[in-house]
């Protein structure tokens, strides 16, 4: 149990006590956490982590919650959100951005300013740090193509610069995802100059396609499964007969079979059960083990 008064006295930043994670995830599911803290600086973050480690309090750093499924029973610890880490510095084709910066907003801003190669991110509802953590991508591109370097906070609470090759970017994964305890503080992107009009037209065209092909009117976390090598995940889900399948308030979208949507007060357990059934069926019928893009948090 967290000593609320003791935590408040530390002055690490804004604190919300007993937040429901369904209010901070795009799936709109998840139970109560003990507290949520918004560190106001890197120094505050280090102070908070030092305190939590000393007190043996569990914690998790989250971005927009666009790839997380929190348990219905909640999270017995502190959620850390880096919403205050939104600094932006542009110098030629080098753009340094705080980990809490909204990725969609960054994509639009830089594309409109005449930078290329970030158009793919205009429909990804995460933060910069979260996108680097999972190497978010779309349209045959991802963060690994544009991140020059990143400042990470190590488990020993030291700040170190990792360059692109150190970050080990691969399909929907990175050094951060594979090494627990490292936290992205900021990143430097390297983007070529281009034609702003062309970039914005491309973004508009892709937005139109998303609206037509994805169930954006319902809470979801985007693509559920990574694409196997030879066949898209949605096709396997559809062939296995799961398009439109519903468990509780969770449903495989009729519009796009690699989306699970919250149509009627779904629980995390509903989503988990549906994912497990799809994986079991696809493995049995096609001998393909689907891997989730999304992360379950207990």
Indicate which residue of 34, 119, 186, 293 is catalytic: 293
Domain of residue 251 covers 215-297
8 A C-beta contact, residue 85 and residue 101: yes
In a domain, 209, yes or no: no
CA dist., res. 87 & res. 114, Å (int): 20
Other beta carbons within 10 angstroms of residue 64's beta carbon come to 22
What is the pTM assigned to this prediction? 0.95
pLDDT of residue 261: 98
Are residues 104 and 12 located together in one domain of the fold? no
Distance of CA 52 to the CA centre of its chain: 23
pLDDT of residue 5: 85
CA dist., res. 281 & res. 238, Å (int): 11
Are residues 29 and 100 located together in one domain of the fold? no
Here the CATH number for the domain that contains residue 52 is 3.30.43.10
- Best CA proximity match to 286, nearest among 245, 239, 248: 239
Are residues 194 and 231 located together in one domain of the fold? no
CA dist., res. 247 & res. 86, Å (int): 39
Are residues 62 and 39 located together in one domain of the fold? yes
Are residues 71 and 98 located together in one domain of the fold? no
Are residues 184 and 106 located together in one domain of the fold? yes
In a domain, 210, yes or no: no
B/e letters for 196-210, b = 16+ CB within 10 Å, e = fewer, are eeebeebbeebeeee
Cβ neighbors of 172 (< 8 A, separation 6 or more) are: 134, 135, 136, 137, 142, 226, 293
Rama region for 116: left / alpha / beta (φ>0; ψ in -120 to 50; rest): beta
Q: Which of 81, 108, 134 is the last residue of a domain?
A: 81
Q: Which two tokens stand for residue 269?
A: 């357990």
Cβ neighbors of 56 (< 8 A, separation 6 or more) are: none
172 is catalytic: yes
pLDDT of residue 251: 98
Here the CATH number for the domain that contains residue 283 is 3.90.78.10
Number of domains in the chain: 3
In a domain, 105, yes or no: yes
Q: Which of 43, 58, 81 is the last residue of a domain?
A: 81
In a domain, 208, yes or no: no
In a domain, 206, yes or no: no
Q: Which of 147, 165, 198 is the last residue of a domain?
A: 198
Q: Which two tokens stand for residue 108?
A: 């639009």
223 is catalytic: yes
Q: Classify residue 114 by burial, with Cβ atoms within 10 Å: 0-12, 13-18, 19+.
A: middle
In a domain, 140, yes or no: yes
CA dist., res. 2 & res. 57, Å (int): 7
Indicate which residue of 172, 272, 281, 292 is catalytic: 172
Indicate which residue of 174, 199, 223, 281 is catalytic: 223
pLDDT of residue 1: 72
In a domain, 205, yes or no: no
Cβ neighbors of 93 (< 8 A, separation 6 or more) are: 115, 190, 191, 192, 193
Are residues 64 and 95 located together in one domain of the fold? no
Are residues 100 and 173 located together in one domain of the fold? yes
Are residues 106 and 155 located together in one domain of the fold? yes
In a domain, 203, yes or no: no
**Tens digits of pLDDT across the chain (298 residues):** 788 888 989 899 999 999 999 999 999 999 999 999 999 999 999 999 999 999 999 999 999 999 999 999 999 999 999 999 999 999 999 999 999 999 999 999 999 999 999 999 999 999 999 999 999 999 999 999 999 999 999 999 999 999 999 999 999 999 999 999 999 999 999 999 999 999 999 999 999 999 999 999 999 999 999 999 999 999 999 999 999 999 999 999 999 999 999 999 999 999 999 999 999 999 999 999 999 999 999 9
pLDDT of residue 151: 98
Bridge partners (DSSP) listed for residue 189:
95, 147
Are residues 42 and 71 located together in one domain of the fold? yes
Sheet containing strand 88-91, strands side by side: 88-91, 94-98, 183-190, 147-153, 159-163
Are residues 289 and 263 located together in one domain of the fold? yes
pLDDT of residue 3: 85
pLDDT of residue 2: 86
Are residues 189 and 239 located together in one domain of the fold? no
Instruction: Please provide the size of the chain in residues.
Output: 298
8 A C-beta contact, residue 268 and residue 72: yes
């Amino acid at each position: 149990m967290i000593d609320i008064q003791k935590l408040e006295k530390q002055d690490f930043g804004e604190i919300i006590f007993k937040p429901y994670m369904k209010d901070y995830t795009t799936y709109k599911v998840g139970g109560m956490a003990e507290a949520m803290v918004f560190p106001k600086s890197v120094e505050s973050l280090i102070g908070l982590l030092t305190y939590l480690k000393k007190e043996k309090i569990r914690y998790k750093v989250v971005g927009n919650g666009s790839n997380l499924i929190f348990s219905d029973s909640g999270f017995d610890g502190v959620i850390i959100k880096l919403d205050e880490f939104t600094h932006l510095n542009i110098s030629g084709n080098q753009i340094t951005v705080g980990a809490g910066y909204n990725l969609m907003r960054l994509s639009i801003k830089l594309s409109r300013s005449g930078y290329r190669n970030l158009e793919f991110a205009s429909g990804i509802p995460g933060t910069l740090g979260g996108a680097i953590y999972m190497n978010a991508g779309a349209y045959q591109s991802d963060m690994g193509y544009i991140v020059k370097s990143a400042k990470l906070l190590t488990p020993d609470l030291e700040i170190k610069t990792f360059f692109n090759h150190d970050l080990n970017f691969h399909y929907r994964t990175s050094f951060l995802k594979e090494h627990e305890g490292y936290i992205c503080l900021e990143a430097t992107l390297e983007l070529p100059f281009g034609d702003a009009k062309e970039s914005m037209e491309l973004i508009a065209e892709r937005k139109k396609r998303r609206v037509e092909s994805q169930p954006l009117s319902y809470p979801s976390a985007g693509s559920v499964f990574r694409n196997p090598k030879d066949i898209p995940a949605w096709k396997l889900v559809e062939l296995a007969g799961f398009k439109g399948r519903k468990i509780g308030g969770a449903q495989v979208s009729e519009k796009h079979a690699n989306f699970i949507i919250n149509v009627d007060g779904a629980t995390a357990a509903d989503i988990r059960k549906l994912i497990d059934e799809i994986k079991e069926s696809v493995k049995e019928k096609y001998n393909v083990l689907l891997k989730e893009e999304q992360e379950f948090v207990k």
